[in-house]
């Protein structure tokens, strides 16, 4: 049997780790196709090395920068993914998450007759201004098999009439977290002047970083908290960051970090500010309070007890800092399965 995984972004490489490990244990042939959606080596190639994964079988490239039209990017991916799948002829294809790479691979599989499964299916933010939400809905409907990470996601799929091809298996990122937890605890940062107490910040969504006034508003509010803010600057944000950060005396800008180091920062910070979907959940696994600079989330399981606060305008800073002052919270991982999603997924794919 041959299985192909199609990925293209940093979070998808992280989700790939448990699947790669499980297929290797079972001696099942596994082809990895990386679309190159994350063009920056700090966000892609270096991550394979950090996680101990071999480089992908196919490392594709995009002619246009990632800030070009999503339609153009998806069209380019379709051509290259189609070529790789036609050469390899896998029995099953796995797509991950909700990116343009996920949608492009799904369209190829649907049109060319490849049987494919969607890991992390059924997530819904109910906000179709988010490109990811559109991708999720389309991919779930096209997929031959949907693997839901939570019961909420599974119920979403059932409510949309997709129950016959949808299965709750647990969250693949919980598998990753459990596999890497000891390495995260031992990870050492080489960041200069890293304070002993700090909040962690990431921003990359257009709604937060493409408007200079909006970006200045966020940084200004956080700069006034009185604690150091360690700001991991995403390439998209860096391209749009035209002001000099030296005017924000409490903000320490750092480049993207190796995954294990960044996870260690997330584990040891006072709290996380982010607009990332995946980081909300990873912070939850670490017991780290999070303020999500958005109006909606695809991970409602993280919201109970103010463990994750949705606040687009940063009006809940006092509540949030009080929550952070109380320290780490007790994590209920049951909402995300039992840490064996990879086994359930591969069992199903090899027996169906």
How do residues 97-124 score in pLDDT, each as one tens digit? 999 999 999 999 999 999 999 999 999 9
- 245 and 172 fall within a common domain: no
Predicted local distance difference test score (pLDDT) of residue 63:
64
- 243 and 346 fall within a common domain: no
Residue 165 belongs to a domain: yes
CA dihedral angle for residue 208, residue 184, residue 10, residue 152, rounded to 10 degrees: -70
Cα–Cα dist 281/288, whole Å: 10
- 162 and 94 fall within a common domain: yes
Cα–Cα dist 102/97, whole Å: 7
pLDDT band at 69; cut points 50, 70, 90: confident
- 194 and 177 fall within a common domain: no
- 46 and 133 fall within a common domain: yes
DSSP string for 222-288 = HHTTSSEEEEEE-HHHHHH--S-GGG-TTEEEEPPPPHHHHHHHHHHSS-EEE--HHHHHHHHHHT-
Q: Which of these is catalytic: 38, 204, 234, 242?
A: 204
- 31 and 128 fall within a common domain: yes
Is 234 one of the catalytic residues? no
Kindly state the helix (H) or strand (E) to which residue 36 belongs, with its residue range.
none
CA dihedral (132, 23, 44, 302) positive or negative: positive
- 138 and 12 fall within a common domain: yes
- 17 and 139 fall within a common domain: yes
How do residues 126-135 score in pLDDT, each as one tens digit? 999 899 999 9
- 93 and 130 fall within a common domain: yes
Q: How many separate domains does the chain show?
A: 2
Query: What CATH number should be reported for the domain holding residue 128?
Result: 3.40.50.2000
- 32 and 159 fall within a common domain: yes
Predicted local distance difference test score (pLDDT) of residue 39:
59
**Per-residue tokens: 10:** 């940093």
pLDDT band at 245; cut points 50, 70, 90: confident
Kindly state the helix (H) or strand (E) to which residue 169 belongs, with its residue range.
none
* Ranges 24-38, 40-54, 107-121: which has the least confidence: 40-54
Cα–Cα dist 121/149, whole Å: 7
**Residue 341: which domain range?**
2-183+337-351
- 235 and 110 fall within a common domain: no
Predicted local distance difference test score (pLDDT) of residue 62:
72
Residue 261 belongs to a domain: no
- 207 and 232 fall within a common domain: yes
- List the alpha helices (DSSP H) in the chain: 10-25, 45-51, 70-88, 100-112, 131-142, 151-159, 172-186, 206-209, 212-223, 235-240, 259-268, 277-286, 317-325, 341-351
3-state SS assignment for residue 109: helix
């Amino acid at each position: 049997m041959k299985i192909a995984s199609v990925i293209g972004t940093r979070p998808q490489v992280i989700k790939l780790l448990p699947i790669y490990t499980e297929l290797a244990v079972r001696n099942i042939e596994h082809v990895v196709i990386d679309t190159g959606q994350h063009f920056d080596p700090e966000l892609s190639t270096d991550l394979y090395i950090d996680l101990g994964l071999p480089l992908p079988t196919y490392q594709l490239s995009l002619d246009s920068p990632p800030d070009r039209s999503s339609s153009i990017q998806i069209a380019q991916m379709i051509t290259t993914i189609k070529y790789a799948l036609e050469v390899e002829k896998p029995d099953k294809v796995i797509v991950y998450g909700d990116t343009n790479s996920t949608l492009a691979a799904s369209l190829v599989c649907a049109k060319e007759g490849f049987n494919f499964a969607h890991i992390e299916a059924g997530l819904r933010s109910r906000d179709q201004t988010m490109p990811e939400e559109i991708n999720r809905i389309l991919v779930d409907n096209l997929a031959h098999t949907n693997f839901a990470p939570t019961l909420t996601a599974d119920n979403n799929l059932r409510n949309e009439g997709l129950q016959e091809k949808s299965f709750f298996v647990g969250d693949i990122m919980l598998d990753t977290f459990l596999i890497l937890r000891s390495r995260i605890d031992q990870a050492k940062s080489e960041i200069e002047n890293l304070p002993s107490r700090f909040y962690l910040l990431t921003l990359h969504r257009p709604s937060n970083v493409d408007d200079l006034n909006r970006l200045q508003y966020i940084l200004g509010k956080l700069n006034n908290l009185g604690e150091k803010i360690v700001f991991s600057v995403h390439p998209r944000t860096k391209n749009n960051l035209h002001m000099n950060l030296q005017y924000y005396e409490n903000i320490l800008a750092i480049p993207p970090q190796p995954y294990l180091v960044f996870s260690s920062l997330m584990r040891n910070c006072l709290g996380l500010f982010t607009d990332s979907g995946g980081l909300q959940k990873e912070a939850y696994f670490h017991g780290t309070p999070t303020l999500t600079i958005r109006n909606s989330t695809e991970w409602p399981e993280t919201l109970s007890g103010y463990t994750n606060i949705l606040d687009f305008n940063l009006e809940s800073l006092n509540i949030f800092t009080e929550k952070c002052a109380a320290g780490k919270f007790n994590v209920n991982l049951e909402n995300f399965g039992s840490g064996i999603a990879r086994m359930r997924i591969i069992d199903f794919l090899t027996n169906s």
